Amino acid sequence: MMEPPNTKTPLHRAWIGITVTLVALTLWSCNGDKLYLGADARVAFSQDTVLFDTVFSTIGSASEAFRIVNDSPGRILLEDITLEDGEDSPFRINVDGLPGPSVGDLELDEGDSLYVFVEVTIDPQNDYDLPFIVKDRIRVTVNGFSQYVQLLAWGQDAFFHGSPGGISTLDCNALWTAQKPHVIYGVVGVAPGCNLTIEAGADVHVHAGGGLYVSGGTLDVNGELGNPVVFEGDRLEPEYADVPGQWGIQVDTLIQTEIGVAQASILGGGIWIYGSPGSTLRHTILRNGTIGLQVDTTGTEGAAVTLENCVIHNMSAIGLLAQGAHMDGTNNLLYDCGQACAAFTLGGKYRFTHSTFANTWSDGTRGTPSVLINDHYEDINGNLQIRPLEETRFLNCILWGNNAQLQDFDELVVDLEGDVNDLLIRGCAVDLDATGEADWIEESTLDATPPFADIFSRDFHLVSGNSEWNGVGVPAGLPFLATDLDGLPRVVGSAPDVGCYERQ
């Protein structure tokens, strides 16, 4: 029997081949776009718990994030990514740019991932003085199966003072206890003739741009050994622990210039004291600000500000800025500032004993000395104005920094235009070119590196037994404490040690 003739031409056969190939590709494409609907569909999380360290009530946190990874053998549909407490949750989520509290119908290819960002704001809990915990969880559902990420935040209620960007005045003779932390917004002022007392153990947190301004009144900070008063920023996440420049007074204003009105900012100390009849800071720590303490022209008979056993460090600009001020200080440690640890400017009267100024700033290049002393300024007409120093004494102090090894650089700069007879630096360890030795410095080491215990861990105890690190006796009438910054006894007599720590 004869076979039927082959009626398909070569072109016809080629077209059939192409059609078959296209159908196969189409079927493969459809299968590739299909969602995996198996009951075993799962996602994996980069972390199963998101933990926020202490967050003040009413203050938002920094963002934390985690990844959702498609751990299934195919493309999946994320049916929902939801805060279980919904609108009532103290937490907020954002899923790859989509805000919560619930986001859904997102497809995710096999092995792909997306980010979930989480923030928290805690409502005040007036019944709580101690830290408390708030919780929620994020539910992620795929093919009817739900998985969870836990959200935990330690909350802390606080006393709040001032308002964001505002200027406010405290009640006269206010008392800040250590019962709860204190949070400052904007500029909070102590009025003339009034007083603010801060108890030992109080924690004061200042929002960016804010600070404490004392004008004609007094500030008494009564920290104690082992129970200091601490001033710092209001972001408590670990990544903010060593960030300078977080707080300090900044007031934005408009000024008239030659080309019109421009916006300017008035910058001041985080604690700014002007014309005080006698403020005192004892066992006080100031850290992570712009300018730590600023003391301006006082016109008072006694010391406008007395510092005892204080630590000021990690300021983006200046630790202590004094302008024509009258100050006493003993057993103080000032270190790590982007410009100067201390600037005693525009004259004044300064009597510091047993204090360490050690600028080991490492966050960028520093071109300013650790300590600056001057007695003049140039007015708007270009005329030199001298405001003299009065009986200024630095006894048994260390004035040093990590630029001491540089040529043509002194960590102590004294720039005087007036009478130098009212300045005396005695029994100190300083970085000062020997050729710059003057009548106002005596019995001091000029360029010998102090034997600090460990610069890298900022341990400024002295570890050498060499007698060159002995200081001199402190005459009556000048500030002196029988204990050092650690509360340990000092040698009383002719040879206590230089700096804030006494060798034991």
Distance CA 469, CA 451 (A): 9
Average pLDDT over residues 243-264: 80
Query: How confident is residue 15, by pLDDT bands cut at 50, 70 and 90?
Result: very low
Q: How far is CA 24 from the centre of its chain?
A: 63
Min mean pLDDT across 22-36, 121-135, 238-252 is at: 22-36
Cβ-contact 307, 294 below 8 angstroms: no
Q: Is 37 helix (H, G, I), strand (E, B) or coil?
A: coil
Q: What letter represents residue 371's amino acid?
A: V
Residue 441 has pLDDT above 80, yes or no: yes
Mean per-residue pLDDT for 130-135?
78
Distance CA 443, CA 465 (A): 18
Q: What pLDDT shows up at residue 343? A: 98
pTM, rounded to two decimals: 0.80
In angstroms and rounded to an integer, the radius of gyration of the C-alpha atoms of the chain is 33
Q: Beta strand 113-120 with 91-95: parallel, antiparallel or unpaired?
A: antiparallel
Q: pLDDT-based confidence at 257, cuts 50/70/90?
A: low
Instruction: State the chain's mean pLDDT as an integer.
Output: 89
> 482 by DSSP, 3-state: which?
coil
Instruction: Pick the range with the lowest mean pLDDT from 116-130, 235-249, 329-343.
Output: 116-130
The mean pLDDT of 400-409, rounded to a whole number, is 91
How confident is residue 31, by pLDDT bands cut at 50, 70 and 90? Answer: very low
Q: Name the percent of the chain lying above pLDDT 90.
A: 72
Look at residues 209, 212, 158, 217 and name the one whose alpha carbon lies nearest to residue 182. 158
Question: What are the tokens at 27?
Answer: 């079927």
Q: What is the pLDDT of residue 492?
A: 85
Check: CB of residue 219 under 8 Å from CB of residue 213: no
Name the nearest CA neighbour of 207 among 242, 226, 178, 234: 234
State the average pLDDT over residues 375-380.
92
Bigger pLDDT: 61 or 101?
101
pLDDT value, residue 260:
73
| Share of residues in the chain with pLDDT > 70 (%) | 89
Query: Cα 367–339–355 angle (5° rounding)?
Result: 115
- Strands 371-374 and 412-415 turn out to be parallel
Q: Using alpha carbons only, what angle is made at residue 363 by residues 357 and 366, rounded to the nearest 5 degrees?
A: 60
Whether 71 shows a pLDDT value over 60: the answer reads yes
The H or E element containing residue 11 is: helix 10-33
Rounded to the nearest 5°, which phi and psi values hold at 210?
A: -110, 175
Instruction: Report how far Cα 431 is from the mean position of its chain's Cα atoms.
Output: 28
Cα 338 from chain centroid (whole Å): 13
Strand partners, 295: 273, 322
CATH superfamily, domain 43-155, is Immunoglobulins (2.60.40.10)
Report the C-alpha gap between 374 and 379 in whole angstroms: 15
Phi (first) and psi of residue 219, to 5 degrees? -125, 125
Which DSSP symbol is given to 210? -
User: What are the φ and ψ backbone dihedral angles of 19, each rounded to 5 degrees?
Assistant: -60, -45
CA–CA–CA angle 353, 359, 364 (5° rounding): 165
3-state SS class at 87: helix
Going by the DSSP 8-state scheme, the letter that residue 109 receives in this structure is -
Indicate the domain borders of the chain: 43-155, 160-469
Place of tokens 């740019």: 97
SS (H, E, C) 42-61: CEEECCCEEEEEEEEECCCC
Q: Which of 411, 417, 438, 436 is nearest to 426 (CA)?
A: 438
CA distance 287 to 176: 19
Lowest mean pLDDT among 180-184, 222-226, 310-314: 180-184
Mean pLDDT of 381-397: 94
CB of 251 closer than 8 Å to CB of 273: no
Would you call 469 helix, strand, or coil by DSSP?
helix
- Tokens for 223? 């920290």
User: What pLDDT, on a 0 to 100 scale, did the predictor assign at position 74?
Assistant: 95
Distance CA 250, CA 193 (A): 24
Number of H helices, E strands in the chain: 1, 41
Total residue count of the chain as it appears in this document: 504
